[in-house]
Amino acid sequence: MKLIKQTGLFLASALLVAACGAPNDTVETSEAQEVAEATGITLNLDPQVTTIAWTGYKPAGKHFGKIPATTGTLSVEGDQITGGTFNFDITGLVIEDLEEGSENYGKLWGHLQSPDFFDAANHPTATFEITGAEPFTSDDMIADKEEFETEFTPAADSELSPEAPTHWISGNLTMRGNTKNIKFPATVNIANGTVTAKAGFNIDRTAWGLSYGDEADAVDKAKDQFIYNTVSLQLDVKAN
């Protein structure tokens, strides 16, 4: 499927959500879809400015940081994106709310890399492959998921979305050896041989097997002994 240019990707994340034929009214996750056939010219991802920003939440606080891009391409035909693949380095994950080199930073970074979360020793990269896109119209809306209320309730999808989305992007996100299709709103700009895209949305980490502290297993949520399954992703992509 082709991505039709309007006034302004990603994030495209995205991050990270539904089948291509689903209604354009919410971020969704579904089973993996067929990857879009890439036609036209190929642009290379700029890894210096392409990142996934992440935020994880628990009732007592939150942590946030970035996962760097390594390689990737976007295929463009005229003013349309026809396909693309982005690779991200899980082992390069950084935590921005803790001091790098501190004991707490080392403990959290090691835990995130462990089998409790990304299992980076066996799955050091994450991949996003575009499967399709549809225009974001004036009648579209972003539906928010109801969350258990605490001081650190996850940000809503409508808060994370770019202010003026131009498209619904869908793609296969692979993490920890598991692939799911995600659909999210994004703002895309194609001009002078360069594509930039921004997106923001939530995913349920347990769909990819990151199930440590699963909130569904919390017997008494009032005790705050869980980690929210919702993780916020914000994607910033540039290819030229």
Domain hosting residue 138, numbered range: 3-239
Residue 223 neighbours by CB under 8 Å, 6+ apart = none
Whether the pLDDT of residue 222 is over 90: the answer is no
Strand 28-31 relative to strand 51-58: parallel, antiparallel, unpaired? Answer: unpaired
Number of neighbouring beta carbons within 10 Å of residue 219: 8
Distance CA 148, CA 194 (A): 41
Domain count, the chain: 1
pLDDT of 209 reads: 94
Summarize pLDDT for 13-59 with one digit per residue, the tens. Answer: 333 333 333 344 566 778 888 887 888 889 999 999 998 999 999 99
Structure tokens at 15: 């991050």
The CATH number covering residue 27 comes to 2.40.128.110
- Give strand ranges (E) for 23-135: 28-31, 41-44, 51-58, 61-77, 80-89, 94-95, 125-135
Q: How confident is the model at residue 67 (pLDDT cuts 50, 70, 90)?
A: very high
Whether the pLDDT of residue 193 is over 90: the answer is no
**DSSP bridge pairs for 73:** 44, 85
- Asked whether the CA dihedral 29, 34, 37, 41 is positive or negative, the reply is positive
pLDDT of 79 reads: 67
pLDDT of 224 reads: 80
Whether the pLDDT of residue 11 is over 50: the answer is no
H or E stretch including 167?
A: strand 167-175
The mean predicted confidence, pLDDT, of the chain is: 86
Distance CA 178, CA 172 (A): 10
pTM of the model: 0.85
Structure tokens at 53: 């920003």
pLDDT of 25 reads: 53
